[in-house]
Amino acid sequence: MKHEYHNPQTLPDWSGMFSQVVVTEKNGLKFIHISGQVGVDQTKKLVGDGSFSAQTRQALVNLRLALDSVGVSVQDVVKLIVYVVDYEYEQAGIIREELRAVFPLEQLPALSLLGVAALAEKHFLIEIDAEVIAESSFIG
């Protein structure tokens, strides 16, 4: 099994700590694992300090950049894992709204939503991981 490790220049540089995207090929399929995306821009500047909605939106922007970097789209995403600091029920509505702005309603991925005490940095409010499956012929 072959693995490719990617740290796209369009995303924050966390090299030396983890890879943003790992692609594994098997039986004509590519399995793409996207590391948790948070509400920071390419320079690691926090977007929306204290704003759950703004951080959610930026995490999804980063997710799309990660997908673009390996030539796939949101339609190839099969599962999301969303981690929310000090989860409150109202946040589910914000997440739903932001996901529907990105994913076609008829192709919403499977979702796990987890409330956590903290993320890697104290100002991060949300983190989104993604799992993608695509035919090898569709990957650039």
The model's pLDDT over 48-68, given as tens digits with 9 standing for 90+, comes to: 999 999 999 999 999 999 999
Q: How is the chain split into domains, by residue range? A: 2-138
Report pLDDT digits (tens) over 70-122: 999 999 999 999 999 999 999 999 999 999 999 988 989 999 999 999 999 99
Q: How crowded is residue 12: how many other Cβ atoms within 10 Å of its Cβ?
A: 17
> Which pTM value belongs to this model?
0.93
How far from chain centre, in Å, is Cα 132? 10
CATH architecture for residues 2-138: 2-Layer Sandwich (3.30)
Residue with tokens 């990660």: 66
